[in-house]
Amino acid sequence: MDTDLIIYAKGEAFENGIYDLRSLDLLFSSYRSILDRLVAVQLGRRQLSAPTKRQLNYDVKIQEGSIELLIDFALEHPEMLAIFSQDGGYQLSTALTKLFRDAISLRVAAAKFIEKGQIFNININNSFNWGSRNNNIAINGSNITIPDPKILFAAQATRFSTDKLLRNIDGKNIKKVNITSPEETFTLDDSKKIILGRDKQILPASLKIVGRLDMVAFSSHRGVIISNNESFPVTWDEKNRTKMQKFADKKDVLFTVNPVIDHSRLDNNAIGFHVLNCEQPQTIMDI
């Protein structure tokens, strides 16, 4: 496979070499946004900085057929991002496709619990690093286990563009859209539309995250958790004020939290936590 990524769309909007302009624009704009946000999450960031955006581009060729976009990552100065300079985008394209697959799989799993009105937990391994491998998520009873926190953040970061694309997959004009890397193919089709359910503002789940409580305003029950150089806004109830005061500005505190996801926003405050409990394990092992 000579191309980093292939976006393949099938449907009447792309047949006979004549493309419906609205559907074509939807495909281009949605996947440009999805790729931008996946790259940011894979780099351990909330969003791409302006300088990085100016450097990152996508070379696109259209293959005749239904429609097939052949995408290569293009950087004016590849050395600015070590990930790109390693192999010209092979590893990154594979990682992004797997990350997108797992992000949608997490949303599908959560949507099934929400649809039934059931409470569930997300168990997450708090480790941001480029070398981590995104494996399939696992569901055991009411627990959803994901091996990498980037999956949760990718699910939120790509939500708007993914939902916009899914709403236009109608089984006729657009039947399905594939994204393919050298090692992975992932398909968006009708089976993923469960994630478009209306009750997505509050995620009834709990997870554990290790970090430090900073920038605290105890009177308003607000602060920030710093975890692996990422900051997340947090709130807590009055009954937990004493405990939060005790652990303020201490390292390696184990917080049990509910994710607070504002689906109407895609800025730095879109993902936050509501603290249920906090403790400092007596023995912290550094690996």
- Model's pTM, two decimal places? 0.62
What confidence score (pLDDT) does residue 123 get? Answer: 82
pLDDT digits (tens, 9 = 90+) for 170-211: 888 888 999 988 888 999 998 898 888 643 345 667 788 888
pLDDT digits (tens, 9 = 90+) for 45-79: 777 777 777 767 777 766 655 677 777 666 555 55
One-letter amino acid of 198: R
Interstrand relation of 176-180 and 185-188 (parallel, antiparallel or unpaired): antiparallel
**Cα separation, 203 vs 122, whole angstroms:** 10
Q: Helix/strand/coil (H, E, C) string of the chain?
A: CCCCEEEEEECHHHCCCCCCHHHHHHHHHHHHHHHHHHHHHHCCCCCCCHHHHHHEEEEEEEECCCCEEEEEEEECCHHHCHHHHHHCCHHHHHHHHHHHHHHHHHHHHHHHHHHCCCCCEEEECCCCCCCCCCCCCEEECCEEEECCHHHHHHHHHCHHHHHHHHHCCCCCCCCEEEEECCCCEEEECHHHHHHHCCCCCECCCCEEEEEEEEEEEHHHCEEEEEECCEEEEEEECHHHHHHHHHHECCCCEEEEEEEEECCCCCCCCCEEEEEEEEECCCCCCCC
**Burial class, 64, CB count within 10 angstroms (exposed 0-12 / middle 13-18 / buried 19+):** exposed
What confidence score (pLDDT) does residue 130 get? Answer: 41
What confidence score (pLDDT) does residue 85 get? Answer: 47
What confidence score (pLDDT) does residue 64 get? Answer: 57
Interstrand relation of 121-124 and 68-75 (parallel, antiparallel or unpaired): unpaired
* For residues 249-270, average pLDDT: 68
Report helix angle 90-115 to 149-157, nearest 10.
Answer: 80
One-letter amino acid of 217: A
228 close to 241: Cβ distance less than 8 angstroms: no
**Cα separation, 179 vs 165, whole angstroms:** 13
* Lowest-pLDDT choice from 196-200, 257-261, 265-269: 265-269
Cα–Cα nearest to 161, from 40, 278, 71 = 40
**Cα separation, 263 vs 69, whole angstroms:** 29
What confidence score (pLDDT) does residue 100 get? Answer: 93
- The contacts of residue 237 (CB under 8 Å, 6+ apart) are 221
| Averaged confidence pLDDT in the chain | 77
**Burial class, 78, CB count within 10 angstroms (exposed 0-12 / middle 13-18 / buried 19+):** middle
What confidence score (pLDDT) does residue 104 get? Answer: 93
- Residue-range domains of the chain with CATH: 5-196 (no CATH), 207-279 (2.40.50.140)
225 close to 209: Cβ distance less than 8 angstroms: yes
What confidence score (pLDDT) does residue 82 get? Answer: 57
161 close to 33: Cβ distance less than 8 angstroms: yes
